[in-house]
């Protein structure tokens, strides 16, 4: 089972410990697509699901869903606001997105309730890959790019006397650094984000607290 799980993780392109945004399709009568964040850690897939969502209600009735890997922000938008536009299909016991780069059928192993939400642990079942190699989306990628762009502009802003603008960029870098530490702890993402943040801090000098 461990070898199978690691193979699934490799095929999906997941890095252990990193939170990836996927579209979960749960069902209880009708299929319900919704974006969630999921990570592979300790041999299982984990996701935090809020109790006031249809995804949670469905999992309580039918403890199975698919995790659909997509690279398009448009599909995430549709999964929130235009669900009727998504092409949802069925294979065996699973409903999935026809336009996903890959999907993984999972079953609930364990639920750990917290206030207003639960952390679910899932075991993998059926895996389907499209012709395109999946590239799972993590906000850590976008955060690093934004940090690099912002950090490159701090010195020119300071040299031009645009201190308020430089401080605003520094605050954004600090925000992204905290985000990456939360969703990609103990990974290269976190190491790189920390390095950018420290470089920005040096550039700001005594201005960062102003």
Strand intervals (E) in 18-134: 20-28, 30-41, 44-50, 64-69, 88-91, 94-97, 102-114, 117-129
116 and 156, same domain (yes or no): no
List, for residues 154-206, the tens digit of each pLDDT value. Answer: 988 998 899 999 999 999 999 999 999 999 999 999 999 999 999 999 999 86
List, for residues 134-160, the tens digit of each pLDDT value. Answer: 888 999 999 999 999 999 999 889 988
Domain boundary among 85, 101, 129: 129
Give the mean model confidence (pLDDT) for residues 28-46: 92
Residue 125 has pLDDT above 50, yes or no: yes
Which phi and psi angles does 99 have, rounded to 5°? -95, 10
Residue 158: domain span: 139-207
Flag whether 168 is in a domain.
Answer: yes
Largest Cα–Cα separation, the chain: 63
Flag whether 83 is in a domain.
Answer: yes
124 and 150, same domain (yes or no): no
Can you give the pLDDT at residue 4? 55
Domain boundary among 99, 129, 159: 129
Domain boundary among 103, 129, 155: 129
Which phi and psi angles does 64 have, rounded to 5°? -145, 155
17 and 92, same domain (yes or no): yes
Would the pTM count as exceeding 0.75? Answer: yes
Give the mean model confidence (pLDDT) for residues 7-11: 80
119 and 172, same domain (yes or no): no
User: CA 208 to CA 51: how far, in whole Å?
Assistant: 40
Flag whether 101 is in a domain.
Answer: yes
93 and 152, same domain (yes or no): no
Provide CB contacts within 8 A for 107, sequence distance 6+. 63, 64, 122, 123, 125
Specify the number of domains making up the chain.
Answer: 2
Flag whether 195 is in a domain.
Answer: yes
33 and 121, same domain (yes or no): yes
144 and 106, same domain (yes or no): no
95 and 147, same domain (yes or no): no
182 and 147, same domain (yes or no): yes
121 and 145, same domain (yes or no): no
Flag whether 134 is in a domain.
Answer: no
169 and 99, same domain (yes or no): no
In this structure, what CATH number is given to the domain that contains residue 120?
2.30.110.10
Q: What is the mean pLDDT of the chain?
A: 91
8 and 40, same domain (yes or no): yes
Residue 51 has pLDDT above 80, yes or no: yes
User: CA 26 to CA 143: how far, in whole Å?
Assistant: 29
Per-residue pLDDT band for 25 (boundaries 50, 70, 90) equals: very high
């Amino acid at each position: 089972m461990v070898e199978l799980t690691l193979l699934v993780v490799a095929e999906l392109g997941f890095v252990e410990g990193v939170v990836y945004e996927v579209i979960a399709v749960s069902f209880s009568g009708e299929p319900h697509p919704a974006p969630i964040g999921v990570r592979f850690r300790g041999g299982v897939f984990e996701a935090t699901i809020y109790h006031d969502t249809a995804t949670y209600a469905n999992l309580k009735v039918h403890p199975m869903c698919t995790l659909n890997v997509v690279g398009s922000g448009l599909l995430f938008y549709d999964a929130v606001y235009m669900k009727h536009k998504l092409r949802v299909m069925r294979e065996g016991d699973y409903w999935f997105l026809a336009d996903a780069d890959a999907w993984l059928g999972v079953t609930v192993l364990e639920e750990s309730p917290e206030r207003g939400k639960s952390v679910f642990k899932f075991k993998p079942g059926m895996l389907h890959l499209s012709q395109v190699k999946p590239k799972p989306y993590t906000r850590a990628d976008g955060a690093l790019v934004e940090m690099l762009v912002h950090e490159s502009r701090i010195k020119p802003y300071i040299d031009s006397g645009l201190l308020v603008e430089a401080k605003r960029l520094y605050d954004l870098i600090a925000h992204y650094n905290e985000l990456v530490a939360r969703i990609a702890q103990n990974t290269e993402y976190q190491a790189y984000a920390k390095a950018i943040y420290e470089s920005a801090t040096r550039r700001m000098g005594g201005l960062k607290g102003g």
